[in-house]
Structure 1
Amino acid sequence: MSDTFPTPPLGSSHLDNGFGLRPAGESDAATIASWMARPHIRRWWQQDWPVERWAEELNRQSAGEHSTPCVVSVDSEDVGYVELYRVRHDRLAEYYPSDDHDWGVHVAIGDVTRVGGGLGRRLLGALADALLASDPDCRRVVAEPDIDNTPSVRAFAAAGFVRQGELQLPEKTALLMVRTRTLEA
């Protein structure tokens, strides 16, 4: 199935709960590289890459059909990195009975002063709401945090994502978490 991917159908750069969302580009590589080097992200993402590699990665993602890299802001301050992707373009589709219109999310809150205060929960809820509202064919937004990443699992659960079981991925044991239109799995 073909679509106009990679742009998610969000329609606006403003999400609920005061979040801004914009496509990440090469000019964001230094900021994202610094976030990915922080211990609370490095452990789970394992993408502590130099700026040049992040610039290449952002260009690759922006030019492809796999995912859309984004920078999230709150109060006009950049605070995190998000990847939005159609599951059908991702290896995750091999691990659960996905639908063609399922969206997936990866989130990293880079601003360490914003970690632990509910920002992730609010962001995940706003992202899921926006994806579901703007794509009438999408029934689910999914995530696959590492099962040992307790803060992430809690944030997804608090945002209405429901645990669907463990997935053994090559680099981790993940927990498949699903957010539906009705907040029921």
Structure 2
Amino acid sequence: MTHLDAYRATDDLSGVPAPPVPTPDGWWLRAVDPDGPDVDLLHRWMQAPHVAAFWHQAWPRERWERELRDQLAGAHSRPCLVGRGDPVLYVEIYRAARDVVASVYPARPHDVGLHVAIGELAMTGRGLVRELLPALCEALFDADPLCTRVVLEPDVRNRRAIASFTAGGFAPVGEVLLPDKVALLMVRGR
């Protein structure tokens, strides 16, 4: 039995709030503003080949604006920009039990999932994700005392991301089949 087999989530998530948007030590992190230049920045990043290859969301700007508004209006996900000066990363913080990933592992109600992208190709390979993840996980655990796990599910072909996530403290659990990819489920516990 793995550490993921020990718990089965309840179907009732009505009392579980939207995921927190904490501030990790050494970084700023904020929800995307769908009424400002954030939409243009995110739209441009999602068109970049190194992001589009794994996110599959090189959508028109208008669709991104709708997507961001929908995420912010619900309790499933929080789209965020992250940086130290200018924004350098896009992070979606989501409740895993409300996501498709819950179909491939026993998600606990307060588990948090992350989707992470470095928007500018020139900023990749600099250790940003490896540095951010430990601070972000600690901030998530502090913000939600009932959260005991943070999960990632990168495409198995994205070796660079998997290496960064491993260096950032996440342990691979196994490959899982999601609707749009074969993913490596990765977990960091409290």
Same fold (TM over 0.5): yes
Alignment of 1:26-105 (within 5 A): 26=34, 27=36, 28-74=38-84, 76-105=85-114
Query: Does residue 1:115 correspond to 2:106, yes or no?
Result: no
**What TM-score, normalized to structure 1?**
0.90
Percent of counterpart pairs with the same letter? 47
Give the aligned partner of residue 19 of structure 1: 27
CA-atom RMSD in angstroms: 1.3
Q: Is the 8 A contact 1:9 1:135 kept in 2?
A: no
| CA deviation after TM superposition for structure 1 residue 7, in Å | 4.9
TM-score by length of 2: 0.88
Structure 2 alignment gaps of length 5 or more? 1-12
Displacement after TM superposition at 1:132 (Å) = 1.4
Q: Which runs of 5+ in 1 are unaligned?
A: none
For residue 174 of structure 2, what is the aligned residue in structure 1?
Answer: 165
Q: Tell me the equivalent position of 2:7.
A: none
Report the Cα distance in structure 2 between the residues aligned to 1:35 and 1:149, rounded to whole angstroms.
Answer: 17
**Hey, what's the Cα distance between the residues in 2 that align with 1:19 and 1:113?**
19
Aligned with 1:65: secondary structure?
Answer: coil
1:173 Cα deviation after fit: 0.5
Q: Please list the CA deviations of residues 35-66 of structure 1 after superposition, one character each: whole Å capped at 9, or x if unmatched.
A: 01111101000101121111111001000121
Secondary structure of the residue aligned to 1:163 is strand
CA offsets 1:127-156 (integer angstroms, 9 cap, x no match): 112111222111100010001100110111
* Structure 1 ranges of 4+ moved more than 3 A: none
Q: Indicate the SS of the match to 2:75.
A: coil
Secondary structure of 1:29 counterpart: helix
Task: Select the structure with the greater relative contact order (CA < 8 A; seq sep ≥ 6).
Answer: 2
Deviation at 1:79, TM superposition (A): 0.9
What is the aligned counterpart of 1:8 among 15, 20, 26? Answer: 20
